[in-house]
A and B are shown apart, each in its own frame.
Chain A
């Protein structure tokens, strides 16, 4: 199988602080990882595509200076929400593509519920 571990599962923080979310592929190498944001009962909104060893590609409307993505190795990508505000409260999910094949299925982390007070 292929397992993607996302940590933490939930986090509560004060407004103005930064929060880091980790996404790890445990038993495979992931050259590409994806970060999504999801509001209750809505779809996943793709925020950025993270490629190992290069800069992330952000979707239109996503502030790259606010949502810092680092894909330092083939098994780890991190999303840092900088200077978090209440409107950043959301469910964040990562996914990873196994292998180098384009178009193959994605494996998802279990998500991180962020609440900014």
Chain B
């Protein structure tokens, strides 16, 4: 099965700082997706990057993908307290997508 592994497991920063989360996976992918989960809620799709893309932006989000290293990173710039949540990467391949343990981001006001 295809599962992403996020790093770090937990990250605590001050409001206004940037937050970087990393994801590694093991096999080839069609695309890689990042999701966010607020405590006790479902997941919300943030961004999808295809295997032939290297970087993608969406608002304050920047995602990179390095297929040679089988890794991806999610950068949240100018973080806000409302960004506090768990973030999951989901590598997708052959109709199989699994979630890792996620990175728990805390943004302190």
A interface residues, Cβ below 8 angstroms from B = 4, 6, 36, 41-44, 46, 91, 93, 95, 102-111, 113
Contact = CB atoms under 8 A, between A and B. Distances in A.
A25 to B, nearest CB: 13
Contacts of A91: 40
Given A6-B42, A91-B40, 9 more contacts: A36-B99, A41-B104, A44-B88, A102-B30, A103-B30, A103-B92, A108-B43, A111-B42, A113-B40
A43 B104 contact: no
Contact of A103 (B31, B42, B88, B101): B31
Contacts of B33: 105-106
Contact of B40 (A44, A46, A111): A111
Given A110-B41, A111-B40, A113-B40, A46 B95 contact: no
B45 interface: yes
Contact of B101 (A42, A108, A109): A42
Interface in B82-98: 88, 92, 95, 97-98
Nearest to A49: B95
Interface string B33-50: 101000011111100100
25 contacts: A6-B42, A41-B104, A43-B88, A43-B99, A44-B88, A46-B98, A46-B99, A91-B40, A93-B42, A93-B43, A95-B42, A103-B30, A103-B92, A103-B95, A105-B33, A105-B45, A106-B33, A106-B35, A107-B45, A108-B42, A108-B43, A109-B42, A110-B41, A110-B42, A111-B42
